[in-house]
Structure formats: structure tokens, C-alpha cells
Amino acid sequence: MPVAATNFDTSRVRFGDIVAAVSGLVLILSLFLKWYSVNAEGVPGGFGISVSGWAVLSFIDVLLFLIALVAIAVAVARAAGMLPQLAVSPGLVVLGLGALALLMVLFRLISIPGAGVDVEGVDVGRSIGIFLALLAAIGVTVGGWLGWNEEGRPTPNTTGLQPGQQAGGFGPPPGGPAQQPVAAPPAAAAAPPAAAAPPPAAAQTSDPPPPAGGAPDWYADPRGLKRLRYWDGTQWTDHVAD
């Protein structure tokens, strides 16, 4: 009978996921160990007992259990390729939950349930389970922090460019091929040359009439610029004489 192909690949799991998942498993196991010990040797019929986290905690044990499950589930989902797209990175989620678990364990490490009851000859102390839970909560927090760094912490975009965008061009759109940088607009066309100065008033006048007879020869300059100007038979030339 053929076996269905699976998409489970442990190479996708990051180091931070492994640290958080292993620490989550230890956190679950610590709840079944002895968290506190009660020594009543100083009272008649003295006795000594120890209680687990499940037995003595009210709701903190449930929260710690759920946080540990989330840390394990992130690693399993990443290996299976089924990690959902979240508004925040999974590493940041594990980091926040690990910090919450650490605070709750520290609270129960400092404040022992029932320690406020002052009974002579009865001593309430801490046992190995709560210290193991403290180390596990630290491990979940550290694993979440490592995973967050491996996923790439978001940084402020001080350049005003999108990720992958270069100055003068555009980066690839989400899910699309890369675009070539947009060429810079051509330099502004050179300004047209200044209009030529208008010719002198004398030059703006129409050509003077031809001389009488019209034969090529020197004649009195009709423009009054020189004494004589040469007429070539068709037009006045630039040849002049004083």
C-alpha cells in the first residue's frame, strides 16, 4: 500500500524554535514535579509532604501549560510547512508568552501559597519543580528571542525606501518580478539662443533705386555712407570709395 507523501521537514525548524520547543516540553514536565514541600515535624504527629504545580496552583498551571504548547506547536508547524501568516512573527509571539511565563513562575517563586499562615512548627519551602519551571520559562523566552532575530526583526525605515528598493529606482513588488530602476529624466533642453539684435535702422530700409542708365560704374553712394559706391549692373555692391 503506497504511503502518502508528507511535507514534514525538520530542516525548516530554526534554532530558536528548537530551544523554545524543548524548554516548553520541560515546562510541562515540571508541572508534575514537586513545587513546594511542607515540613510539620515540629507538631504532634509531625509529617512532611510535597505538592506538585498541578496540585497547588489555581490557574497559573493552566497558563503555563498553554504557553508551553504554543512553543512546541510553532516548531512542529514550521517543520510541517503549516505555519500560518500572522500580523506579528511567530518568534515574537513565543518571546512574549515566554516572558509572561517567566513572570508567573517568578511570582510563585517569591510568593509561596500558604506561606502567610503562621503555624508554629510548620515550615513551607520550595522544591525542585519550581526551579526547573523557572529554567524552562527562561528557555522559552530565549528561544522566542532567537527565533525573532532569525526571522528578522523589523527596523525603522529611515531612508523612506521600501525593502529591496534602491535610490533612483523601484524594488520588486510583492510576489512579482523585479523591476529595472527607472532612468532619471533627461536634462532640461538647453535654452534657445537669444534673438539676434535687430539690424541698424539704415539696414532695415529697402535697397536704394538703381542709378540712371544702370551701366556698371562708380556712382554717388545713394546710402550716403561713402562718397562713391559701385553698381555692378544689377545691384549696389559693398565696394565703396572716399
Of 104, 180, 91, the residue nearest 140 (C-alpha): 91
Within the chain, how many helices (H) and strands (E) appear? 6, 6
pLDDT confidence band for 238 (50 / 70 / 90): confident
| Confidence at residue 120, expressed as pLDDT on a 0 to 100 scale | 60
| Confidence at residue 174, expressed as pLDDT on a 0 to 100 scale | 46
CB 202 within 8 A of CB 223: yes
| Confidence at residue 144, expressed as pLDDT on a 0 to 100 scale | 93
Q: What is the C-alpha to C-alpha distance for residues 173 and 161, in angstroms, rounded to an integer?
A: 13
For 209, residues 6+ apart whose C-beta sits below 8 A from its C-beta are 222
pLDDT confidence band for 37 (50 / 70 / 90): confident
Element (H, E) at 119: none
| Confidence at residue 155, expressed as pLDDT on a 0 to 100 scale | 44
For 31, residues 6+ apart whose C-beta sits below 8 A from its C-beta are 52, 53, 54, 61, 64, 65, 129, 133
- For 135: left if phi > 0, alpha if psi spans -120 to 50, otherwise beta; the answer is alpha
Segment of 9-23, 131-145, 220-234 carrying the highest mean pLDDT: 131-145
Alpha carbon separation from 213 to 210, 220, 232, 234, 235 (Å, rounded):
8, 14, 12, 11, 13
| Confidence at residue 45, expressed as pLDDT on a 0 to 100 scale | 56
| Residue boundaries of the structural domains of the chain | 10-151, 214-242
Examine the pLDDT at 214 and tell me if it is beyond 70. yes
Q: Can you say how many angstroms the Cα of residue 208 is from the centroid of all Cα atoms in its chain?
A: 83
146 vs 162, which has greater pLDDT? 146
pLDDT digits (tens, 9 = 90+) for 61-116: 999 999 999 999 999 999 888 888 878 889 999 999 999 999 999 998 998 876 55
β-bridge mates for residue 124, sequence order: 38
pLDDT confidence band for 28 (50 / 70 / 90): very high
| Confidence at residue 3, expressed as pLDDT on a 0 to 100 scale | 46
| Confidence at residue 152, expressed as pLDDT on a 0 to 100 scale | 73
Q: Does the model's pTM come out above 0.85?
A: no
CATH 1.25.10 assigned to 10-151: no
Query: For 219, how many CA atoms within 13 A lie in the half-sphere containing its CB?
Result: 20
1 vs 194, which has greater pLDDT? 194
Examine the pLDDT at 139 and tell me if it is beyond 90. yes
